[in-house]
Amino acid sequence: MRKHFLSSAGILLIFWMLFAACTKEQETIYSVPDELQSFVDTLVSKAAQRGVRLELSNNLIIEYGLNTEGILCGSCVFVGKQLKIEINQQNKCWSDKITQEALMLHMLGHCALRRIDHDDALLPNGDAKSLMNGEFIDQYACIFDLSGENNCNNLYKRDYYLDELFDPDTPAPDWAK
């Protein structure tokens, strides 16, 4: 069973602001809130495990915003060479740390991995094919609290979604057939 997490919050959208190249070399900076740093670390370490070297330490801004109507959960913006992610701080964009991680990896997928387009394809079992799905961000979270009475755990799906994030041609896993 898959929760239609964003039905009330609206779909994830991405705004691309492409500015004309500047003749001067642009300075880029790194500014990430402490509580979101672990998600960046996860992306970098998972990339390294897959032979992808991601260098974000001089070019990434993550800040809170987009909370006016709760429509957007996040956006990736390119300001010249500067990568900038804005995250909706209202927690209806994530119900727990697991979902928040999926949202952050989705946004970093747009910004850091240049996965510009959403991929709303489904796996044979009806689960989302990709963390880059534009409507669902709870691909490996759980509709119930992991510690709650109705305990469940979808974290066994996480490795596939990480593989797919770095390689969209990753075949469907056994659990999705």
Please report, as ranges, the residues that interact with Zn ion according to CB under 5 A: 12, 14
Residue nearest to Zn ion (CB): 12
| CB neighbours of residue 3 within 10 Å | 15
Minimum CB distance to Zn ion, residue 146 (Å): 25
Pick between residue 95 and residue 130 the one whose CB is nearest to Zn ion. Answer: 130
29-38-46 Cα angle (round to 5): 95
Distance between CA atoms of residues 131 and 138, nearest Å: 9
Minimum CB distance to Zn ion, residue 7 (Å): 16
Pick between residue 14 and residue 113 the one whose CB is nearest to Zn ion. Answer: 14
Minimum CB distance to Zn ion, residue 129 (Å): 14
- Sign (positive or negative) of CA dihedral 19, 23, 24, 25: positive
Minimum CB distance to Zn ion, residue 115 (Å): 9
Distance between CA atoms of residues 135 and 12, nearest Å: 6
The two structure tokens encoding residue 64: 């809170």
Pick between residue 12 and residue 104 the one whose CB is nearest to Zn ion. Answer: 12
DSSP letter (8 states) at residue 85:
E
Pick between residue 6 and residue 98 the one whose CB is nearest to Zn ion. Answer: 6
